[in-house]
């Protein structure tokens, strides 16, 4: 947010969000619509003014987390978990299944717990999006067809419920498109920059 806020009045940026980064991207669009030339959602969560609670429902339905997580209870076992850590099997089967082995090995070595925000009402309030601000920013969604984390069905559901200006598809890539198809991603980002900047 600091970067977008620091842009001069006539400066604009194209922002790119991947995976959960789509939530931060959406908040930046809502807070600074005049500073965002376009927003690119790369197999990312793309909420909208009328699409806010799909994540939990769709993930539960897909079985994404089943058997692949370790909960961390920093506030004691009688309180909700504060973080989740994904195991190496989850990375190998859901996120990096088509990525080069060296990238999977590096990811496993860098595994850290991921915080859980248990105050759902607060999260919904802080990610409240409007047509006037968020909706005024041009959006591009890049589908990754072999993503097992945010599967193609969920990606297309978000697109259908909250249509962006443009949709691009990268075939033969898992969730970590920057490792499986980096040149295609770079090519699409270049095209988007030429068109929207």
Q: Does the predicted model carry a pTM greater than 0.85? A: yes
Q: Which long-range contacts (CB under 8 A, 24 or more apart) does 130-137 make?
A: 130/30, 130/49, 131/49, 133/29, 133/30, 133/31, 133/33, 134/26, 134/29, 134/30, 134/33, 134/48, 134/49, 135/48, 135/49, 136/33, 137/29, 137/33, 137/36, 137/38, 137/39
What integer pLDDT is reported at residue 50 of this predicted model?
75
Domains defined along the chain, listed by start: 2-196 (3.40.50.1820)
Q: What is the pLDDT of residues 34-57, one digit of tens each?
A: 999 999 999 999 998 877 655 544
Q: Which residues are catalytic?
A: 19, 147, 175
């Amino acid at each position: 947010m600091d970067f977008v806020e620091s842009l001069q009045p006539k400066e604009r940026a194209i922002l790119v969000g991947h995976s959960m980064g789509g939530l931060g991207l959406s908040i930046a669009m809502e807070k600074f619509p005049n500073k965002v030339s376009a927003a690119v959602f790369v197999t990312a969560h793309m909420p909208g003014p009328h699409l806010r609670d799909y994540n939990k429902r769709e993930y539960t339905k897909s079985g994404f987390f089943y058997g692949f997580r370790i909960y961390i209870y920093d506030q004691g076992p009688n309180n909700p978990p504060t973080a989740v850590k994904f195991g190496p099997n989850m990375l190998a089967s859901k996120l990096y299944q088509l990525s080069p082995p060296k990238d999977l090995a590096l990811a496993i070595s860098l595994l850290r717990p991921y915080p859980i925000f248990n105050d759902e009402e607060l999260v919904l309030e802080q990610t409240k999006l409007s047509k006037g601000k968020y909706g005024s920013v041009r959006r591009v969604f890049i589908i990754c067809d072999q993503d097992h984390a945010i599967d193609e069905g969920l990606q297309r559901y978000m697109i259908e419920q909250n249509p962006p200006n443009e949709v691009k598809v990268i075939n033969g890539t898992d969730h970590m498109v920057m490792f499986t198809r980096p040149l295609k991603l770079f090519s699409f980002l270049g095209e988007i920059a030429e068109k929207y900047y």
